[in-house]
Amino acid sequence: MELPRGVYKSKKRNGNIYFRVSITYKGRHISLGSSESLKTAAMIYEEASLLRENDDGVDEFPSYYYISFDKYLSIINYRDNGVYFHNPIYLHQRYFSYFLDRDTELKFDTDDLFFYSQHRIQRRGGHLFVENYGAQMSLFSRYGIHPFAVEDKDYRFKNGDPLDFRYENIEIINRYLGVELIENTIPRKFRSYIHVNGYYNLGVYQSEDRAAIAFNKARSLLREKGRNKDTPANYISDMPEEEYREIYESIELPESFLGFVNKL
């Protein structure tokens, strides 16, 4: 039996037959996926062939298409912009879109293009993350948004779109876990707090870094008692270890908190 153009017969380990589909476009060999149905495989190839000639855009993906949305997007981006990505990326003039699905568009600055062309964004339980060096990394952490951060309290998206990760759209209000800016204070002051059977005030500090270190010190005391083991520490970038240690040792946590810890 002669197979349709671009369709290749293959066999699974269990002996079942399936059909791989690929196309050559502008000198590039592009895999289009596979199907157990010969008819579906042929349709995938035909649809990909049509995309080379028409001007369908990102918003014009027909629901009845056999080709996957990811492959649709890769082909039209290659057609329009001359760059092929395995990931579902479409380039715009000053930014690029990454589609989790046809209805979920994330926006990024072009500075992030290399990273997201190499790393697949995944979504689980409403959380976005990528696999990086064998570990799962929160998408938010790439933009200085700490774990357990609360939108509009610790960070906000200026245009109201929580899927727009362009740097100019992200405003970090509080960089560290357990630290918040006290509004309307000149000079600025920061409150440090930690949650364990309720919130404990750890003091008010003149710098955000000192407030973050106060949180770390409280966290260490709790961990010694077997509490808050899953709470991450704040990472203070660009601070020499000696300076960190000096600040850490100089911080005196409130008696109310120390009394609670001693009772554990």
Going 210 to 214 to 217 to 223, the CA torsion angle's sign is: negative
Q: Tell me what pLDDT residue 111 has.
A: 95
| Model confidence pLDDT, tens digit, residues 117-156 | 999 999 988 889 998 777 788 999 889 898 888 899 899 9
Tell me the CA distances in angstroms from 136 to 51, 100, 140, 141, 204, one per residue in order. Answer: 35, 17, 12, 11, 34
Q: Tell me what pLDDT residue 134 has.
A: 74
pTM: 0.82
Return the CATH number of the domain spanning residue range 1-67: 3.30.730
Looking up tokens 């981006």, which residue turns up? 77
User: What are phi and psi for residue 194, nearest 5 degrees?
Assistant: -145, 150
Q: Are 250 and 258 in contact (CB under 8 A)?
A: no
Q: Tell me what pLDDT residue 130 has.
A: 92
| Model confidence pLDDT, tens digit, residues 190-214 | 999 999 988 999 999 999 999 999 9
Q: Tell me what pLDDT residue 82 has.
A: 94
State percent of the chain over pLDDT 90: 74
User: What DSSP string describes 136-194?
Assistant: EEETGGGGT--TT--BTTTEEETTS-TTB--GGGEEES--STTEEEETT-SS-EEEEEE
Q: Tell me what pLDDT residue 126 has.
A: 82
Parts of the chain belonging to CATH 3.30.730: 1-67
| Model confidence pLDDT, tens digit, residues 18-27 | 999 999 999 9
Q: Are 87 and 96 in contact (CB under 8 A)?
A: no
Looking up tokens 């157990």, which residue turns up? 36
Mean pLDDT of 77-93: 95
Residue 97 predicted with pLDDT over 90: yes
